[in-house]
């Protein structure tokens, strides 16, 4: 009778352990956001919101083009052109823009950078491959593989705030923060 109870308890414990491992493999506490280009939340995508440019009075009102429905406006955001201008280039010039190419290549140019990065990333992912149960249950090992390369945004924000560097898009300090 005692032996039968031990066997029954052992079977129950083994079943419970197998069930808990199965359930643990089904869920993921978070999905790697860097691997997704679109936001999956119900809220607005903070990187998809572009504020309009400041209104300015043109030098000559008669030189303004006639408004067209659905057309562009001089206050519409143009982030790509603004970045090119900030780097010393001319928007729309493309690869012929010597100033932009010169600034981007100021520290040297690696001819095969994309191929080199792809090989290095593949090697890193192979060395940090998913464990057997992660592969069996299809669990994403992205965070574990790149944990030593991740950036803690809160400690980084504190680091720069302590040095007096402002960031207008960062959340304001809470009570009790330095």
- pTM value is 0.35
Query: What number of other Cβ atoms are within 10 A of residue 89's Cβ?
Result: 20
Of 162, 167, 163, the residue nearest 177 (C-alpha): 162
C-beta of residue 156 within 8 angstroms of C-beta of residue 163? no
Question: How far apart are the C-alpha atoms of 45 and 39, rounded to whole Å?
Answer: 6
pLDDT at 54: 80
pLDDT in tens, 97-133: 777 778 878 888 888 888 898 888 888 877 877 777 7
Query: What number of other Cβ atoms are within 10 A of residue 74's Cβ?
Result: 12
Question: How far apart are the C-alpha atoms of 28 and 39, rounded to whole Å?
Answer: 17
pLDDT at 77: 82
pLDDT in tens, 31-81: 555 555 566 677 766 666 777 778 888 888 888 878 888 887 777 888 888
Q: Angle at CA 108, nearest 5°, toward 103 and 112?
A: 115
Residue of higher predicted confidence among 44 and 5: 5
- Position 19 pLDDT exceeds 60: yes
Confidence label for 95 from pLDDT (cuts 50, 70 and 90): low
């Amino acid at each position: 009778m005692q032996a039968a109870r031990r066997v029954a308890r052992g079977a129950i414990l083994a079943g419970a352990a197998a069930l808990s491992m199965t359930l643990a493999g089904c869920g993921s506490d978070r999905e790697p956001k860097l691997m997704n280009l679109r936001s999956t939340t119900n809220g607005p995508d903070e990187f998809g919101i572009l504020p309009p440019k400041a209104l300015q009075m043109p030098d000559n009102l008669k030189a303004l083009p006639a408004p067209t429905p659905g057309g562009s406006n001089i206050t519409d955001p143009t982030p790509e052109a603004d970045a090119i201008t900030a780097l010393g280039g001319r928007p729309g010039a493309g690869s012929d823009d010597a100033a932009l190419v010169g600034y981007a290549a100021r520290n040297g140019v690696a001819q095969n950078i994309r191929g080199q990065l792809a090989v290095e990333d593949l090697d890193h992912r192979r060395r940090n491959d998913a464990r057997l149960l992660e592969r069996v249950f299809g669990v994403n090992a992205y965070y574990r593989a790149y944990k030593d390369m991740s950036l803690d945004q809160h400690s980084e924000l504190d680091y720069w705030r302590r040095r007096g560097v402002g960031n207008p898009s960062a959340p304001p300090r809470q009570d009790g923060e330095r």
